[in-house]
Amino acid sequence: MALDSGKLEPLRVMVVDDSAVTRGLISRWIEAEPDMMVAASLRTGRDAVNQVERADPDVVVLDIEMPELDGISALPQLLAKKRNLIVIMASTLTRRNAEISFKALSLGASDYIPKPESTREVAAADIFRHDLMQKIRHLTAKRRRPVTVASPPRDHDDSGSNASRIMNAVDSNVSERDAGGKPRRTFPHPALVQREQQPRSAQAVRAMIRPQPTLRSFSAHLPRALLIGSSTGGPQALMALVAGIGPVIDRCPVLITQHMPPTFTTILAEHLARAAGRPAHEGVDQEIVKQGHIYLAPGGRHMRVARKGADAVIVLDNGPAVNFCKPAVDPLFMSAIDVWQGGALAVILTGMGSDGMRGGTQIVAAGGSVIAQDEASSVVWGMPGAAVQAGICAAVLPLQQIAPKLVRLFAGDRL
């Protein structure tokens, strides 16, 4: 009996929180989603560790403060029992919890989410629900597995007629080159396999593979400012990036927008300062932008730059969210054009959504350049993927290759 792919299994989510109200609320939200189910609803980290193998969750929403075994202590034990488990840390917005969330990221947590101080506030609860559902879906996008259902045997076998033959055809016949020119195997998105019901040739399979991005030439201008946008997976990526761009920071200012709430951005700036070995802090309204410094958009405020006499200054904006985010990347990118024109170089790192694409488009139109993180090294390839699909990038690179490239570009290399 042949096996064909059917619909995707619902995502199995384990909810771990010592508050019965919070557990019940999150569980109801998950059960209301057509592509999710509650694998377990538990009160302590100890319960989660004891039951993770039996419940077999794809995702764990893990509270930080719990009796018996708290979230940060349970995290490594959960990952030891299920290595590919996605763990989202949930905590209220306190400095202590923010510090613990950053530690959790270094220990293998996939992301964090701030819990509202009171779920009785409808607006705050709605935002929390929306953000949590989005994070669950985006973080599991690469790992969704199709349900296999039995079907009658076929009378004959045509090339590419099921998921196995698609993978074989791609593996043997299809390859593309990465940004460094090396051959790279490419495989169809699970949705492609799911849709494959009719026989297809290897040529048809190749046509369905995502094409190589069209890359632009780097700007002829020497870059004078580095602008970085990031979201989901961004803290880890930013830490790795700034650790390798000391010569760039010494030459010019570095301005960063990371989708992150207040308190978290304060701590992120402190971590960036240690990683870079250079001054880093949240931007302050009307402060002069200087080379040798890293400026981070504060949580809950958009950060822009403006020209003030001979200087560039930080401008903080408490206006509405942009691209559902505050701070957002586009306001920073767009404002940089008036200050540095073609000397603005933007990097778009891992993150959900498409924030940064519009601003990046304007930077390129003004004569600047955009680099995007590649899909394989991104936690979520939303923001960089949108920039790549818009055709605005001069390079699409693995995270570990971005810093060396930036050092060369700011030293005068135009290739």
pLDDT single digits (tens) 140-168: 987 764 443 333 444 444 433 333 333 33
The answer to whether residues 256 and 223 touch, using CB atoms and an 8 Å cutoff, is no
In 58-162, where does DSSP find H-type helix? 71-81, 95-107, 122-139
Q: What SS3 string covers 207-271?
A: HHCCCCCCCCCCCCCCCCEEEEEECCCHHHHHHHHHCCCHHHHHHCCEEEEECCCCCHHHHHHHH
Tokens of 60: 């764990």
Closest by CA position to 245, among listed 414, 401, 357, 375: 401
Tokens of 226: 């580095």
Per-residue model confidence (pLDDT) at position 414: 77
Residue at token pair 């505050």: 326
Residue type, 316: L
Residue 304 three-state SS: strand
Distance CA 255, CA 359 (A): 14
Q: Which residues of the chain have pLDDT under 70?
A: 1-7, 118-122, 144-211
The answer to whether residues 379 and 350 touch, using CB atoms and an 8 Å cutoff, is yes
The answer to whether residues 409 and 218 touch, using CB atoms and an 8 Å cutoff, is yes
Give domain limits for the chain: 9-143, 154-208, 225-410
Which residue among 138, 259, 271, 302 is the active-site one?
259
Task: Give bridge partners of residue 91 from the DSSP assignment.
Answer: 114
CB atoms within 10 A of CB 23: 19
Active site residue 281: no
Per-residue model confidence (pLDDT) at position 248: 98
Are 9-143 and 225-410 equal in CATH topology? yes
Residue 286 three-state SS: coil
Per-residue model confidence (pLDDT) at position 144: 62
List, in order, residues 6 or more apart from 350 with CB less than 8 Å away. 230, 231, 232, 233, 234, 237, 373, 377, 378, 379, 380, 381, 383, 384, 399
Q: What is the total residue count of the chain?
A: 415
The answer to whether residues 155 and 129 touch, using CB atoms and an 8 Å cutoff, is no
Distance CA 48, CA 43 (A): 8
Per-residue model confidence (pLDDT) at position 130: 92
Residue 326 three-state SS: coil
Q: What is the DSSP secondary-structure string of 154-201?
A: PSS--TT-SHHHHHHHHHHH-EEE-TTS-EEE----HHHHHH--S---
Distance CA 145, CA 343 (A): 45
Task: Give bridge partners of residue 113 from the DSSP assignment.
Answer: 90
Architecture of the domain defined by 225-410 = 3-Layer(aba) Sandwich (3.40)
Q: CA Rg, the chain, in Å?
A: 23
Active site residue 156: no
Which residue among 27, 355, 374, 378 is the active-site one?
355
Question: Considering the entire predicted model, what is its pTM?
Answer: 0.81
* 9-143: CATH topology: Rossmann fold (3.40.50)
Distance CA 236, CA 227 (A): 17
In 278-382, where does DSSP find H-type helix? 329-340, 357-365
Active site residue 293: no
Per-residue model confidence (pLDDT) at position 149: 38
Closest by CA position to 359, among listed 303, 405, 278, 293: 303
At residue 195's C-alpha, the angle toward residues 193 and 199, to 5°, is 85
Tokens of 333: 């990118």
The answer to whether residues 114 and 123 touch, using CB atoms and an 8 Å cutoff, is no
At residue 221's C-alpha, the angle toward residues 219 and 222, to 5°, is 115
CB atoms within 10 A of CB 213: 19
Burial of 54 from C-beta contacts in 10 A (0-12 / 13-18 / 19+): exposed
Which residue among 27, 41, 110, 231 is the active-site one?
231
